[in-house]
């Protein structure tokens, strides 16, 4: 198969969110909230356990009162914020300002690090004439992250769940991306880290390439095989 279009997931595929402790430390420092190192480590572990960081670990369990919201969190900006700040409040933090500040922090370019081979692969696809779309389950505009890291020039379209009220694995979101690229799904590759969500593209006839959702320094070259499919 030689692909003519490529769809990429965002978090865990092209970019990785910062570690939970770094996330909490950055926000606490900005607000001037004192944390002893052991207290910060315990609080970060708690936030990770409940899945409070978008793009980070999944919750061990979602509270029943938030289950419905959590299942549809990527359909709007409001639902996304409410879901993540809701689970974060399951963890006692010393200053109530931290909950919203943590959510705000995760939307900044500084909170994200691209995978080591991401720029190479996106540039290689551009050189081969393969059009690229980012298809993400998300509740905020990730375009500034791509611009800040110099990736925007490689992306032809962004198809974000909250802008359409549709979330993966619904095939309609992938169909919108293929339409934006002018690409036949049968000539298009979906690259992602979530076999259920990103696997929804297969319903349209897209090929699939999965990568592992690992820290950036532990996954140096999982995207490179995509270039072999681009001819």
Domains identified in the chain and CATH numbers: 5-16+113-228 (3.40.50.1000), 17-110 (no CATH)
Give the contacts of 6 (CB within 8 A, at least 6 positions apart): 125, 130, 131, 132, 133, 188, 189, 191, 226, 230
pLDDT at 222 over 90: yes
β-bridge partners, 209:
191
CB 118 within 8 A of CB 15: yes
**Prediction pTM value:** 0.96
Q: What is the pLDDT of residue 2?
A: 85
Q: What is the pLDDT of residue 150?
A: 97
pLDDT at 153 over 80: yes
> In the predicted model, what is the mean pLDDT of residues 55-63?
95
Cis before 169? omega within 30: yes
- Model confidence at 230, pLDDT cuts 50, 70, 90, reads confident
């Amino acid at each position: 198969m030689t692909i003519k279009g490529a769809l990429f997931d965002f978090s865990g595929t092209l970019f990785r969110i910062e570690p939970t402790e770094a996330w909490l430390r950055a926000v606490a420092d900005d607000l001037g909230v004192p944390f002893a190192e052991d207290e910060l480590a315990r609080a970060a572990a708690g936030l990770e356990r409940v899945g409070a960081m978008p793009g980070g670990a999944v919750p061990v369990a979602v509270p029943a009162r938030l289950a419905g919201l959590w299942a549809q969190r990527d359909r709007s900006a409001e639902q996304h914020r409410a879901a993540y700040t809701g689970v974060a409040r399951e963890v006692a933090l010393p200053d109530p300002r931290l909950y919203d500040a943590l959510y705000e922090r995760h939307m900044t370019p500084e909170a994200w690090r691209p995978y080591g081979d991401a720029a190479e692969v996106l540039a290689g696809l551009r050189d081969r004439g393969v059009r690229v779309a980012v298809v993400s389950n998300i509740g905020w505009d990730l375009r500034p992250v791509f611009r800040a890291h110099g990736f925007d020039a490689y992306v032809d379209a962004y198809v974000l769940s909250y802008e359409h009220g549709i979330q993966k694995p619904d095939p309609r979101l992938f169909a919108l991306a293929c339409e934006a690229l002018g690409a036949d799904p049968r000539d298009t590759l979906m690259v992602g880290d979530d076999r259920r969500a990103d696997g929804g593209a297969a319903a349209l006839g897209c090929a699939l390439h999965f990568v592992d959702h690992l820290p950036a320094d532990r996954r140096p070259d999982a995207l490179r095989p995509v270039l072999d499919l681009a001819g």
